[in-house]
A = this chain, B = another copy of it.
Amino acid sequence: MHKYGNISAPVIKRLPRYYRFLGELIDKDVTRISSRELSDKMGLTASQIRQDLNCFGGFGQQGYGYSVQGLYNEIGHILGLNHMYRAVLIGAGNLGKAVAMHMSFEKRGFRLIGIFDNDPHKIGTIIRNIEVTDLDKLEEFCRDHKTDVAIFCVPKAAVPGIAERLYHLGIKNYWNFSHYDLSVCYDDIIVENVHLNDSLMILCYKISDANDVPEEKE
């Protein structure tokens, strides 16, 4: 069962960007905007914006355009930001700590309710008002606290084992920062990957390709 039919990945990927630009327009006290104006600002075509929005409904008004605040609210609702999914963070290393400290979970439909690690030096420390708990107590914690999502900030090798435990606990939604490909293991899970290494390599490709310098590593 899908709330909005079968929306294509490219469309979904653009939604947060629309949301961001509309938020900026609100900050600038812009109340209405046409698909044309928005397309200029965002570097898209007006057609694409109208097509994208009409996957979810007719939010505009002929001859007028779109209400900025109205559209912002609609897209926030489509994205499901009104939800409050309970998330546990697995891994309190540099990356995990940064994710815990840096993200505005509450504005994005989530609440961080637990942080786990197996390093005795980290267990017991406090990150953003949450005590880092021993990974061994994961099952106990999830029995006591409804948990919807797990965030993976652990090394690749640790992922499969932890994923199996989570899957067994019925937690099947993952925000995955590890280099492990979760999607090839289970097929009834929801995964959103953040592969920082991949992103860095793509930057490397773009620079190399543009400069065409056959310079080698020294």
Interface residues of A (CB under 8 A from B): 1-4, 7, 12-13, 15-17, 19-21, 41-43, 78-85, 93-95, 97-99, 101-105, 108-110, 148-149, 173, 175, 179, 181, 183-184, 190, 192, 194-210, 212-213, 215-218
Our pick among B42, B203, B212 for the contact of A184 (Cβ within 8 Å) is B42
Q: Smallest distance from the beta carbon of A188 to chain B beta carbons, Å?
A: 10
Q: Are B83 and A94 in contact (CB under 8 A)?
A: no
Task: A199 to B61: give the CA distance in the assembly, Å.
Answer: 30
In the complex where A3-B212, A196-B103 touch, is A80 in contact with B110 (Cβ < 8 A)? no
Q: Smallest distance from the beta carbon of A218 to chain B beta carbons, Å?
A: 7
Q: Are A197 and B104 in contact (CB under 8 A)?
A: yes
Q: Are B84 and A94 in contact (CB under 8 A)?
A: no
Our pick among B7, B80, B204 for the contact of A79 (Cβ within 8 Å) is B204
In the complex where A94-B98, A101-B94 touch, is A199 in contact with B194 (Cβ < 8 A)? yes
Tell me the nearest residue of chain B to A82, going by C-beta: B217
In the complex where A103-B197, A108-B200 touch, is A208 in contact with B80 (Cβ < 8 A)? yes
Q: Are B84 and A217 in contact (CB under 8 A)?
A: yes
Give me 17 other A-B pairs in contact (C-beta within 8 A), A15-B201, A17-B198 excluded: A1-B210, A3-B209, A12-B205, A20-B198, A41-B184, A78-B205, A80-B208, A81-B204, A83-B204, A83-B208, A83-B213, A93-B102, A97-B98, A99-B196, A110-B200, A149-B207, A194-B199
The interface centre, meaning the residue of A15, A43, A83, A84 with most chain B CB atoms within 10 A of its CB, is A83
Task: A207 to B110: give the CA distance in the assembly, Å.
Answer: 11
Can you identify 8 A-B contacts, CB atoms within 8 angstroms?
Answer: A3-B212, A13-B202, A83-B207, A94-B101, A103-B200, A149-B207, A190-B203, A192-B199
